Amino acid sequence: MLDCIRENNQVFFCVIGCTRAVLDKFTTTYESIVMRCAAHIALLLEERMHALELLVAKYSPNDKEIGRKYAEKFFHHTEIIRLGIVAMTGKRK
């Protein structure tokens, strides 16, 4: 995948929000957004570590020190891809 981004950094990113089955109508309600982005790799070391720290803070808020050590240990085996949003469209039903 990284080779593909090096060749063409234009990517799409989709996020699906709340979904709910409406059984009596055989449908669903949902929220979604699709973004056209420019993907950036080979980021500065500080930006990469900051991204990992944000992930640790979000998913392991009670184990930040352990998460930081883990991020440092595997830092050179990890790639961070920053997405710059070019355009977006959303939908809700």
Q: What is the pLDDT of residue 43?
A: 87
Instruction: Kindly list the domain boundaries of the chain, sorted by start residue.
Output: 2-92
The topology under which CATH files domain 2-92 is: Pnp Oxidase; Chain A (2.30.110)
pTM score of the predicted model: 0.75
**Per-residue model confidence as pLDDT tens for the chain (93 residues):** 889 999 999 999 999 999 999 999 999 999 999 999 999 998 899 999 999 999 999 998 999 889 889 888 988 899 999 999 999 999 999
Phi, psi of 25 (to 5 degrees): -115, 5
Question: Which DSSP helix (H) or strand (E) runs through 67?
Answer: helix 64-73
